[in-house]
Amino acid sequence: MQTEKPIVVTKEPFVSPPKKPFRLSKEGAFICLCLLPAVLFVGIFTYYPLLRGIIMSFQNYTLFNLLDVRFIGLDNFFAVLTSPEFPRVALNSFYWVAVSLFFQLLFGFALALFMRRRFRGRGIYQAFVFFPWAMSGFLIGLIWRWMFNAQFGVINDLLVKSGLIAAPIPFLADGKWALAAVIIANIWYGVAFFAIMILAALQSIPEELYEAAAMDGAGRIQQFWSVTLPYILPTMLVTILLRVIWILNFPDIIYAMTNGGPAGSTHIFATYMIDKVIFGQDYGQASAVGVIIVLLLLVFTVFYVKATRMEKGGDF
């Protein structure tokens, strides 16, 4: 009796197919070519200065001695944080952002609600409201500097003629009034941005939501709290975040009106950094102030986004 031999199956080792070399299609090459100028522009004018500024913040870099550029660790940060001007600059920056943001949001929201209604000449009125946002911040500062002038400014003239004050107030020459004056100018300048953003959000609310709320017996106030505010809240949160970043990095009005004076009473972080460059010729400490601004905004943005938990409009 013959026994059948077992059949042995041999497995050949799996050999992966050779990988084809990556080749960019003509469409992909064209897209990359179109994006190249934008990438170069952003890299050269945004990321390179940012990286260079971070490096300079750890260097002894002054125009008085360019032959002695060397790394000095955290000495620039220590010098900035322990300087006698820093507490006042930090407090001014807080007031500059908080007060400006509050009144810009308040007046911008009111203007947006008013402009949402149809009335004769609404387009012209909107153009006048939005026009300041298209102007240079430095030019706005020069205009308000003339308005707050103690000798021939229109604000002092109106206050004296109305009997509210007996003599002109040196708004820009007195440290007690200078910060308030630049904040008022900044509020006027930033109201338009809030009005634009909130008006766009208001115009995107479907009318069916108001009709449904009215059928349920909701009045104007109830419709505002249950329909209008929840729907535009995401837009308001994003706008607030953008304005905090922009206001803290906005030295134009202050430099045009007071140049950080008198006696540094209107300095914020941004103007303090410029002052280090122009008058101190110390690029190292100026870069350290810039890095501090970036870190403050980064921490604020992270906590703000986590606290607000931004979602799509209408999903709150």
What's the average model confidence in pLDDT over 51-59?
A: 90
Q: Residues of the chain with pLDDT > 90: what percent?
A: 33
CB 284 within 8 A of CB 62: yes
Question: Which segment of 12-26, 34-48, 293-307 scores lowest on mean pLDDT?
Answer: 12-26
Cα Rg for the chain, rounded, in angstroms? 29
User: Which residues partner with 282 through β-bridges?
Assistant: 62
* Angle between the N-to-C axes of helices 175-203 and 137-147, in degrees from 0 to 180, rounded to the nearest 10: 130
pLDDT of residue 288: 93
Rounded to whole angstroms, the Cα distance separating 167 from 160 reads 6
| pLDDT for 18 | 62
pLDDT value, residue 315? 45
Nearest to 113 by CA among 189, 186, 194, 187: 194
Is the model's pLDDT at 12 over the cut of 70?
Answer: no
> Is the pLDDT confidence value at 102 over 90?
yes
**Number of neighbouring beta carbons within 10 Å of residue 164:** 8
The CATH homologous superfamily to which domain 85-308 belongs is MetI-like (1.10.3720.10)
Whether 30 has a pLDDT exceeding 70, the answer reads yes
| Domain ranges across the chain | 27-71, 85-308
Handedness of CA 56, 285, 302, 314 (dihedral sign): negative
217 is written with which tokens? 């017996």
At residue 312, the pLDDT reads 46
| pLDDT given at position 187 | 93
Question: What are the two backbone dihedrals, phi and then psi, of residue 268, each rounded to the nearest 5 degrees?
Answer: -115, 180
pLDDT of residue 310: 52
Q: How far apart are CA 280 and CA 283, in angstroms?
A: 8
**Tokens 């500062």 belong to which residue?**
141
94 has a pLDDT exceeding 90: yes
Q: Residue 314: its pLDDT value, please?
A: 44
| pLDDT tens-place string over residues 202-248 | 888 888 888 888 887 878 888 888 888 888 888 889 899 999 999 99
What letter represents residue 198's amino acid? Answer: I
Asked if 72 and 58 count as a contact pair (C-beta separation under 8 A), the reply is yes
Tokens found for residue 120: 């004769």
- For the question of whether the overall pTM of this predicted structure is more than 0.75, the answer is yes
Q: How far apart are CA 58 and CA 51, in angstroms?
A: 12
pLDDT of 87 higher than 90:
yes
Please enumerate in sequence order all residues whose Cβ is within 8 A of that of 228, keeping only pairs 6 or more positions apart, or say none.
202, 205
- In tens, the pLDDT along 261-288 reads 888 889 999 999 998 888 888 889 999 9
